[in-house]
Amino acid sequence: MSSFFMFLTFYILATAFPLYVKDSLHGNEQQMGLAITIYVIGGVLLRLFSGQWVDRFGKKKMAVIGMIVFLAACLAYFGAKGILLFLIVRFVHGMSYAVASTATSTAASAMIPDSRQGEGMGYFSMFMSIAMVIGPALGLFLWKDKNVNVLLLGVAVIAALSLLFTLLIKLPRREGAVDSSSVAETEAAGPETSGVPVSTGKKRLGLSQFIEPKAVPISLVGFILAFSYSSLSGFMSSFTAEIHQTKVTSYFFVVFAVMIVAFRPVIGKIFDRYKEHYLYYPGIVLFAVGMVVMSQAHSAAMVLISGVVMGIGYGALLPCFQALALKLSPAHRRGSANGTFFLLFDLGYGLGSYFMGMIASYSDYRVMYLVAGLIPLLSVAVYYILHHRHAAKHAVPGQGAKAV
């Protein structure tokens, strides 16, 4: 519930703030994308540290701190009347989101048995998908009278609920012992204590202090997916207005998320029992096809069909990527693994929002969605080279269904 309300806030503002920039600040498509991009830049910068902080100081502690700043940023929008101050608050808001989302995701993974990580993280991320359907529709509803105070009041209440549920989180006792105190004790005792590898000397100053290397390959694939996906939340309402199908916007996100939720139980079990390739390859093709269908849409029916196809594909991909990032990383580096995954995913989303807006400003939304449909196909080569082929080389004979 904590994660749900946080992501609900994210999707409300990701949909409404580009319209705020366009209608109230008279910005163009690039500036509409910047309202999202600056938020993500703040998140990306803190992602470099958020995973390490979660591993070192504790999941719940960092989640509470992140959510407090998250709520404070929502309240600060009331006083951000100029574009410069607005972007500064967006930047800080993105930083708080990075810390809070890394901490809550890591807390969730700590509660799930290792043998059911795919299924458990699938259910956890399902609430993000539910926020994905409610958020854009609620954002459009709150902005229908173009009153920013109504929008911000609703967002502040939702952010407060997110903080409330964060305070109610109860981690397993065994996980609580792995947080700040145990890390400090382990470092003081030396690298051989507790059987947990601890870097010392110059090695701790390297990039691996902030990034979990084993989570990078699958996170790069997530980067490409997010780059393409950014074209939906930021520009969907403008595209449907262009094709004179404004009313279908909310229904698109409903259909998109319903497909994600409907297939989530099956997808989680497939990940835990079989190869992740059975999810990735069909999922990426469906997502790409859905984008191409969107680029050719002239009617509400075609927009909704694209939502069905994309929803199934996206629903198979996101929990698969996040569970893989955790599965491939050491248990004591789960926070860093989550931080690494979200770092690249958010970076893809932020850069995508800007460049998709640039494409739309120089051509039109149809070209933008066509490009967004071709980009995911690039991830096939990245996935095969960095993960599939590597996993096949290191597979242990006789592992049965789980052998790669």
Written as tens digits, the pLDDT of the chain (404 aa) is 999 999 999 989 988 888 887 777 776 666 677 788 888 888 888 877 888 888 888 888 999 999 999 999 999 998 877 778 888 999 999 999 989 988 998 888 888 887 777 677 778 877 887 887 788 778 888 988 888 889 999 999 999 999 999 999 888 765 444 444 444 433 434 434 334 444 444 445 466 667 888 888 899 999 999 999 988 876 888 899 889 888 888 788 888 888 888 887 777 777 777 778 888 899 999 999 999 999 999 999 999 999 999 999 988 888 788 778 878 888 778 778 877 888 888 888 878 888 888 898 888 899 999 999 999 988 898 888 888 877 766 554 444 444 44
State how far the Cα of 341 lies from the Cα of 326, in Å rounded to an integer: 9
Q: Which two three-digit tokens encode residue 283?
A: 């999922």
Per-residue pLDDT, 207:
65
Asked whether the whole model's pTM tops 0.85, one would answer: no
Tell me which residue of 252, 352, 264, 357 sits closest to 306, measured CA to CA: 252
C-alpha span between 357 and 352 (Å, rounded):
8
Would you state the pLDDT for residue 309? 95
Length of the chain: 404
DSSP per-residue letters across 188-253: HH-TTGGG-----GGGGGSGGGTS-GGGHHHHHHHHHHHHHHHHHHHHHHHHHHHTT-TTHHHHHH
Q: Where are the alpha helices (DSSP H) in 79-116?
A: 83-111
In this prediction, residue 180 carries a pLDDT of 43
CA distances from 61 to 3, 67, 72, 245 (A): 15, 10, 17, 46
10 Å CB burial of residue 35 (0-12, 13-18, 19+) is: buried
Six token digits for residue 144: 């229908």
Which residue from 159, 132, 47 is spatially nearest to 98, judged by alpha carbons? Answer: 47
The pLDDT assigned to 191 comes to 39
- For residue 93, the model assigns a pLDDT of 95
Q: Mind listing the domains of the chain with CATH numbers?
A: 2-176+210-394 (1.20.1250.20)
Token pair recorded at residue 160: 């407060």
